[in-house]
Structure 1
Amino acid sequence: MVLTSCNFTENLDVKDDGTGTFALEIDGSGLMAMAGDKLTESLSQKNDAKVIDSVFSFKEIFEAKKDSISKLSTEQQAALKKMENFMMHIKMNAEKQQFLFSMDTPFKNVADLQNMMDGFKTLKDLKGKSDSEGTSNPLENSMDNNAKIDFAYTGKTFSRKAIIDKEALAKIKNDSLGMTKMIFASSKYTLKYHFPKAVKTVSNPDALFSADRKTVTVEYPFVDYMEHPEKLNLNVVFE
């Protein structure tokens, strides 16, 4: 199934003291529009419902799986620990052609977000080992471009920098980027960052501002972001 329109948005709301909230939102409504009755039937059979509206925390999941998690390595357990405060929200409505997925978490310091994807990569690795058929969900794999994101906020400046594993990124390009290009050909990856102060300058030439210059939005083709994560790097200076 080709996900012809699946858009990703990073929403970041930073308070003056450096605390705030982070959310990753995925709008796969284009998938619903394309799949039609077949997806409706699939959802109905697997979930006994044509409408899904579910909210849960990773902390609840990990508590239920604590015995299995205790058998993981110290590094894997630490990576999962970073995900405990994430809340997940899934909304599916085939009739309304709606498919929305979001993960959000509060943070005490912007820098705490820099390794936020470690836990998701750990979950992906664990799932891969337990998948007897070796199947792969393109939506699950879509966020893994082997780049860690380093965030920093001083009150006067803000930065978002992708730290790239060039060897791993080259392997992605060689092994699977062709499939990614086909699946996410018309998808977008968007940054939408709200700050407590007006922005004076921003390094990314494609950035757009709100009327009060406190919100910065940057949009790139998703495949472009996967190939070149550094294109969404930002250096912001406040007034």
Structure 2
Amino acid sequence: MIRLYKILCVSYLIVTLTSCNFTENIDVHPDGSGNYSLEMDGAGLLAMAGDKLGNELGMKNNAKAIDSTFSFKEIFAAKKDSIAKLAPEQQEALKKLENFVMKIKMNPEAQQLLFSMNTPFKKVNDLGGLMESMSALKDLKGKSDKSTAMLSGLGMDNSKLSFSYNGKNFSRKAIVDKNALNTFASDSTGMAKMIFASSKYTLKYHFPKAVKSVSNPDALFSADRKTITVEYPFTEYTENPEKLNLDVVFE
């Protein structure tokens, strides 16, 4: 678990100290089940702190790459005593994350640094509340715990995200908490905005049917119209989550 926490702490640096590109993937199967993943490309950090990152992750001098995989269940098992002390609703929020698997790949020679979280789902609607559950991780142990702080930082406290799919329509909807959004804006420093200025947040959704129309005018289609991609500057997304709301109609 010590190595696991080292990876989490370094991942926290990836998310907070350098520009990253985020990709939210949803792959829907014909029966409505599928896979969800959130990927972060932190290759730019290698140019700044490649050796330090390698040392923090336990990379030996003769090692050329790191490829680690672990699950949220491991994290929760290590913190079961803390979880037992949480309120029932907090425990329920964390339970939604049990099936997530986290991966980190680092290859200095290839200038590759990838961090991802993946989970299967039985229904698209089940994805609702996942980002809020990320924020609930901060309740495991105070703000000084970098391992959970990294993960909770991936959550969105300023909005509630829901998804729906019935075979004819798909929607992604963020309902913004105006008070939380104002607090987020006031807490954001000029330096943070500068760091994330070159970062992007991308949606990449694949469906079993061809798409007839998408409400977002910035959406791009694959040749078979089964995959749509929407990209926004990361700062615009965090300050206005509604920008990535989508209503999709299938042929």
Q: Distance in 2 between matches of 1:154 and 1:179?
A: 43
Q: Distance in 2 between matches of 1:153 and 1:137?
A: 32
Unaligned runs of 5+ in 1: none
Change (3 A) 1:232 1:15: same
The answer for the alignment partner of 1:112 in structure 2 is 126
Cα distance, 1:138 vs structure 2: 7.9
* Cα contact 1:4–1:186 (8 A) shared by 2: no
The answer for the alignment partner of 2:35 in structure 1 is 21
Change (3 A) 1:62 1:210: same
TM-score (norm 2): 0.84
Amino acid at match of 1:88: M
Change (3 A) 1:194 1:123: same
Change (3 A) 1:183 1:15: same
Unaligned runs of 5+ in 2: 1-12
Amino acid at match of 1:155: G
The answer for the alignment partner of 1:168 in structure 2 is 180
SS at 2:26's partner residue? strand
Which stretch has the larger CA shift, 112-121 or 86-95?
86-95
Q: Distance in 2 between matches of 1:214 and 1:46?
A: 39
SS at 2:237's partner residue? helix
Aligned length: 234
Amino acid at match of 1:22: Y
The answer for the alignment partner of 1:198 in structure 2 is 210
The answer for the alignment partner of 1:131 in structure 2 is 144
Alignment of 1:170-185 (within 5 A): 170-185=182-197
SS at 1:117's partner residue? helix
Q: Distance in 2 between matches of 1:66 and 1:138?
A: 19
* Cα contact 1:3–1:30 (8 A) shared by 2: no
Q: Distance in 2 between matches of 1:9 and 1:211?
A: 20
The answer for the alignment partner of 1:93 in structure 2 is 107
Q: Distance in 1 between matches of 2:58 and 2:118?
A: 24
Q: Distance in 1 between matches of 2:205 and 2:53?
A: 36
TM-score (norm 1): 0.88
Q: Which has the higher contact order (CA 8 A, sep 6+)?
A: 1
Q: Distance in 2 between matches of 1:19 and 1:45?
A: 38
* Cα contact 1:111–1:152 (8 A) shared by 2: yes
Give a deviation string over 1:146-176, Cα, whole Å, max 9, x none. Answer: 2121100011000001011110010110111
Change (3 A) 1:86 1:194: same
* Cα contact 2:132–2:156 (8 A) shared by 1: no
Q: Which has the higher helix share?
A: 2
**RMSD between superposed Cα atoms in Å:** 2.5
The answer for the alignment partner of 2:24 in structure 1 is 10
Cα distance, 1:130 vs structure 2: 4.8
Q: Distance in 1 between matches of 2:86 and 2:144?
A: 17
Amino acid at match of 2:246: L
